[in-house]
């Protein structure tokens, strides 16, 4: 079997300013001067073969830029046997090495291709991808959704969700206290601080200690992801599980977090970690350190979600998968079939390959125009000049009384 073509499908994936990425709908309809909202993009990659088998993949890490990278990689891939996945991964890696460290753009491009190659291999052999990865450890994957208010959390609970994550550095202890009070001990709760560069490790450690009584499943990205020494300080100071890794790619990008036991939960993004090939290796590295996997999926589309389901089905240390439960309506129409959450779980697909394809006609209806995201909400003016939110580097250093106390 030979690869005959590689094509990209880039789409504007809904408009977060009209329908929130977050479950609480707090991102309102305000417009931002410069029209930066509504710019989430999804990039799908299709690899074609001379035997009529096609594979589908997805890339995150700045999809609009990655589309060009994938088109460059096409020349390396046409004529190759798509079943030699590791060889092709190394070929791509070496070819982009001269651009500098791989980062999420290079790894995002390789991810889409790699995912499509696994899809082709599964279809060619008539088995699901999880079977190629060693077989199933589990039949369904535990998911969590997003909620910043007790009302949204309880609404999700009614729909079967058993774990929720809130986010942001604004009043974190009060937010967590309110949510824990509302949902009780039966639901799991996490907070994502989004790796704020303006949070000092000392403040993050103090915050982590203040959050200890709420028994979080994890605190995510408490400080900037580059500050690994800071992670050590937080870990030494507080007894709260830490999670990180969504902005890093490949075994090399997550190596230090795992090797130095800086986190309890690794969160590689299934669209930019380097593909199924790298996700499996990262999971194995994490396993050796008793670290669990909770793949990031904040801005990912539904094809990468399928890839995550296959990986999580096959690894022992799968904890939970992120999901925007109340996403843009078009998400379900972008792929066939679209997985439905039942009792807080997604079923592991059993069809050959990844078990999913995109609806190309639907995707074509949403051409990309921009690919940046600025959160817009009714309670924030998104870094507008003259506001509290303008001061992104000093935000948590002001109004300090709001950050560490529950009331």
Q: Which residues are catalytic?
A: 194, 296
Tokens of 110: 């390789």
Nearer to Mg ion, 192 or 326 (CB): 192
For residues 366 and 357, what is the distance between their CA atoms, to the nearest angstrom? 17
Tell me if residue 50 falls in helix, strand or coil. Answer: coil
Burial label, 14 (beta-carbon count in 10 A; 0-12, 13-18, 19+) = buried
C-beta closer to Mg ion: residue 192 or 327: 192
Q: How far is the CB of 243 from Mg ion (least distance, A)?
A: 8
Taking the least distance from each CB to Mg ion, the nearer of 245 and 353 is 245
Binding site for Mg ion (CB under 5 A): 192
CB 166 within 8 A of CB 175: yes
3-state SS string for 264-315 = CEECCECCCCCHHHHHHHHHHHHHCCCCEECCECCCCCHHHHHHHHHHHHHC
Q: Which residues is 115 bridged to in the sheet?
A: none
Q: How far is the CB of 246 from Mg ion (least distance, A)?
A: 5
The three-class DSSP label of residue 54 is strand
Closest to Mg ion by CB, 168 or 355: 168
- Helix, strand, coil shares of the chain as percentages rounded to 5? 40, 15, 45
Rounded CA separation 109/76 (Å): 13
For Mg ion, give the closer residue by CB, 24 or 192: 192
Give 248: exposed, middle or buried? Use CB within 10 Å, 0-12, 13-18, 19+. buried
280, β-bridge pairs: none
Closest to 69 measured CA to CA, from 87, 45, 88, 49: 45
Identify which of residues 3 and 166 has a Cβ nearer to Mg ion in the complex.
Answer: 166
Least Cβ distance, residue 22 to Mg ion (angstroms):
12
* CB 283, min distance to Mg ion, A: 18
Q: How far is the CB of 165 from Mg ion (least distance, A)?
A: 8
Residue among 363, 298, 297, 289 nearest 333 (CA): 363
Find the shortest distance in angstroms from Cβ 164 to Mg ion.
14
CB of 380 to Mg ion, least distance (A): 17
Query: Smaller CB distance to Mg ion: residue 61 or 349?
Result: 61
Query: Residue 196, SS3?
Result: coil
> Which two tokens mark 324?
């925007």
């Amino acid at each position: 079997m030979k690869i005959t073509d590689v094509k990209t499908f880039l789409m504007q994936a809904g408009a977060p300013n009209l329908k929130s990425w977050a479950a609480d709908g707090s991102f309102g309809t305000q417009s931002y001067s410069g029209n930066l909202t509504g710019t989430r993009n999804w990039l799908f990659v299709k690899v074609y073969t001379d035997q009529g088998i096609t594979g589908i993949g997805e890339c995150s890490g700045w999809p609009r830029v990655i589309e060009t990278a994938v088109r460059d990689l096409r020349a390396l891939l046409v004529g190759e046997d798509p079943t030699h996945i590791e060889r092709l991964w190394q070929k791509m890696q070496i070819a982009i090495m001269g651009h500098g460290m791989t980062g999420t753009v290079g790894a995002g491009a390789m991810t889409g291709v790699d995912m499509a190659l696994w899809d082709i291999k599964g279809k060619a052999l008539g088995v699901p991808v999880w079977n190629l990865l060693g077989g199933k450890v589990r039949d369904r994957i535990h998911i969590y959704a997003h909620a910043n208010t007790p009302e949204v959390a309880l609404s999700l609970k009614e729909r079967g969700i058993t774990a929720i994550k809130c986010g942001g550095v604004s009043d974190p202890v009060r937010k967590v206290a309110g949510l824990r009070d509302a949902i009780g001990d039966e639901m799991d709760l996490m907070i994502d601080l989004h790796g704020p560069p303006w949070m000092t490790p000392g403040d993050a450690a103090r915050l982590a200690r203040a959050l200890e009584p709420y028994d979080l499943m994890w605190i995510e990205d408490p400080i900037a992801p580059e500050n690994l020494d800071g992670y050590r300080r937080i870990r030494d100071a507080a007894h709260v599980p830490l999670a990180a890794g969504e902005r890093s790619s490949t075994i090399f990008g997550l190596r230090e977090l795992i090797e130095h036991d800086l986190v309890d939960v690794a969160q590689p993004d299934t669209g930019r970690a380097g593909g199924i090939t790298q996700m499996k290796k990262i999971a194995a590295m994490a396993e050796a350190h008793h670290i669990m996997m909770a793949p990031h999926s904040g801005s990912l589309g539904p094809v990468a979600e399928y890839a995550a389901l296959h990986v999580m089905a096959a690894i022992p240390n799968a904890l939970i998968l992120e999901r925007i439960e109340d996403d843009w309506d078009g998400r379900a129409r972008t792929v066939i079939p679209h997985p439905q959450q039942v009792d807080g779980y997604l079923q592991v697909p059993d069809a050959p390959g990844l078990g999913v394809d995109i609806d190309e006609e639907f995707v074509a209806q949403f051409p990309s125009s921009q690919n940046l995201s600025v959160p817009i909400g009714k309670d924030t003016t998104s870094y507008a000049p003259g506001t509290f939110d303008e001061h992104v580097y000093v935000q948590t250093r002001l109004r300090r009384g709001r950050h560490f106390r529950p009331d």
